[in-house]
Structure 1
């Protein structure tokens, strides 16, 4: 069992090495996808600025008081309509840009990942064919097919839209903090206090999820090897009455994969629950502090929403 566990544990490669099969064209696609991801990530913080402007317009309208003359009331209403119109035009432009950039980030990264995934499959098969005969005695043929079908899909997913999402959210993170410090540095510092807690939790739970995912893939590969072996010799297995024994062997492998999946689900559930708990605690603290800053005249109501 210890030898099997050691065989299942594969040393992870570096993030840069993951793209060593990329061609020049793939590199161009990844650069374009990166630019689209960065642009898309910067749009959400910009959206909060425009939304804050709308809040400020309504706030000014609400605090303007009752007009003394009808002409004054009409001027206030016209100013409100003009302010909302300007913000609406900005949001429309933002929406169009978001649609184009979101399409670009997913399209370019996933197309590049698909091509690289195909190259990895080709290199895998070439490497298998180049092995000596003694190597095949130590490896189940069913495991080889399961690995090339399942593991490469995971690698390809890690090189596709997940990279685009990571770049997008990283850009949103840094752009958001820059805008936050510009519009309200006191409130931003308070929100920033929760960042280390979320980062540590993300690292811990991410490691747990990665370990359980690798373990589950290993057990599914073993189950696939058993199924391939039995189906390839189904007449012999049936003739010697070995169906129940082979079925029990297959169920054992699936049960191990199921247990790994349960642990993965538990880790993901704890990660999501803990992170959202911290986020809602930050919500409460931020609105409380924002209310104090607005009351003291240090911030506008729209700036509170923009910073948050």
Structure 2
């Protein structure tokens, strides 16, 4: 019932959608104007050759076939020669002319296809790069709400579908429509009566096309939405296979996947049925138009208003001119799907990052590490602040443990230091500089973060460590960082040493090994401010001891924030800050603060 009540977009509405897509990507299109101009010239040449193609045949019919019939019917049987050229020479000339026109049309069609396809592929390759780069620029808040699989579908599937439809449907359709217009003009000039007969059919085609494409466009959007849900579920489950097996979730996840899969199947079948129906109705209309022209044209030949050759040109034009109508029907589904995919791409590109460099922002100088938070308020949802007027000052080189219950604002506090978030109110300052007055890149490059879950990429160990900085890193710097993290020995024991490619998310390494490579990645940055966000959680005692030593070497002489639930892990800090309900409840020497927390029942 919901589907019946939902208003489906029409073809008229799809055209502005395509216009929105073209406007959004116009800067990429302009870069390909040379190819587009060449393709357009080839298109006009191809249309001209199509218009010329039936005329050699018409000439043969009017001047040879009709003449031969007249000779056979004459009482005298006297031969009448064509002035200037003999019959054999005329036939040869017409055949050669037809061959030349067909060859030139094929050449022009090839040039048009190559130019338009190359331009389209270049544009959409850049669109994919722009989309991926834009997703990387969008804030953590956006990605917290978005579904990863759906975003992957937009980067891969939606751009691919737009690319395919542009090359295989939209560009050929433009050529066919120009051909249709050219042939209708020639038909109208040759014989307005027969031209009117052809034009009578077009409104019927327009009505059928509008009605069916309205439904095709709507179904296509629903299908893309279902495919996005499939991709999201697949990404979530395949990326959490240990949890799936441990909790025997395969059956329940399969049910969810099957539901989305069936929905995509139903929508795909509906779209195919609608497209097929449109094509077959168009075939019937073309047959009706051809029959009308044949009937009316035959009478006009008998009455002497039209030659047999001209009627042949009419029928040839009609057959050729109706091909674009068939193509409109055939390509409507593809174009509707491309429009839906293109709008999904533009929807993401229109998302504005929450965090951007201010117009007055300047690159940060090299930090010493003095950190100050002044009356900081921050809410993830309106009316529910996570930080409530938090004040904190940390000296350069000081090691501060941030403790407190879950949801108290610990991770939010340290996220402010990397400008993953900006405060709604108050100031976050390093060395007296408000971070909002500095560029994002220059701030983030001076803050190293080691998280509880150390994410590695399916690259070599060397490349994973080098990802810590944007500049080129020498092998010596990488090895020094690995030694700082206590990772050099086990890396050298890997099959290819530093060139060993790790599995996705580092699955081929142990938890401790992943964590130490993550520490090496942080160490190669040589950042003056270090954040350890639950960096020891989930490690066994022996591995924890190795990682603790690596973290101690990493943070030596640097301003360090240790976010932890483990109160014992906070004892080697210079100061402990107890945060609760978004504000600093207590801060001071570790024994003092931890003792108060123990007496308060937070041990």
Q: TM-score, normalised by structure 1?
A: 0.88
Shift in Å at residue 12 of structure 1?
A: 2.8
Matching residue within 17, 35, 49 for 1:12: 17
**Structure 1 Cα separation of the partners of residues 94 and 57 of structure 2:** 8
Matching residue within 201, 207, 214 for 2:214: 207
2:177 is paired with a residue whose SS is: helix
**Structure 1 Cα separation of the partners of residues 22 and 52 of structure 2:** 31
CA distance 1:151–1:218, change in 2 (3 Å): same
CA distance 1:215–1:232, change in 2 (3 Å): same
**Structure 2 Cα separation of the partners of residues 277 and 101 of structure 1:** 31
Shift in Å at residue 282 of structure 1?
A: 1.3
- In the other structure, the counterpart of 2:171 is 164
Matching residue within 262, 270, 275 for 1:263: 270
- In the other structure, the counterpart of 1:48 is 54
Higher relative contact order (CA 8 A, sep 6+): 1
Matching residue within 178, 192, 199 for 1:192: 199
Matching residue within 32, 40, 52 for 1:34: 40
- In the other structure, the counterpart of 1:296 is 303
More strand by share: 2
User: Higher Cα Rg: structure 1 or 2?
Assistant: 2
**Structure 2 Cα separation of the partners of residues 144 and 31 of structure 1:** 34
**Structure 1 Cα separation of the partners of residues 56 and 158 of structure 2:** 44
**Structure 2 Cα separation of the partners of residues 230 and 147 of structure 1:** 19
- List aligned pairs for 1:243-262, cutoff 5 A: 243-262=250-269
Q: How many residues align?
A: 300
- List aligned pairs for 1:1-308, cutoff 5 A: 12-14=17-19, 16-17=22-23, 19-22=25-28, 24-56=30-62, 57-65=64-72, 72=79, 75=81, 79-308=86-315
Q: TM-score, normalised by structure 2?
A: 0.47
Shift in Å at residue 70 of structure 1?
A: 8.3
Q: 1:294·1:301 contact (CA, 8 Å) conserved in 2?
A: yes
Gapped runs of 5+ residues in structure 2? 316-603
Shift in Å at residue 158 of structure 1?
A: 4.1
Shift in Å at residue 67 of structure 1?
A: 6.8
Shift in Å at residue 112 of structure 1?
A: 1.0
Q: 2:297·2:311 contact (CA, 8 Å) conserved in 1?
A: yes
Task: String of CA shifts for 1:62-87, please: whole Å, max 9, x gaps.
Answer: 222257788727x47x8443332222
More helix by share: 1
Supply the RMSD in Å over aligned alpha carbons.
Answer: 2.5
- In the other structure, the counterpart of 2:483 is none
Shift in Å at residue 211 of structure 1?
A: 2.2
Task: String of CA shifts for 1:221-262, please: whole Å, max 9, x gaps.
Answer: 210111111111112111111101111111111111111111
**Structure 2 Cα separation of the partners of residues 51 and 202 of structure 1:** 34
Q: 1:184·1:303 contact (CA, 8 Å) conserved in 2?
A: no
2:109 is paired with a residue whose SS is: helix
**Structure 2 Cα separation of the partners of residues 157 and 20 of structure 1:** 18
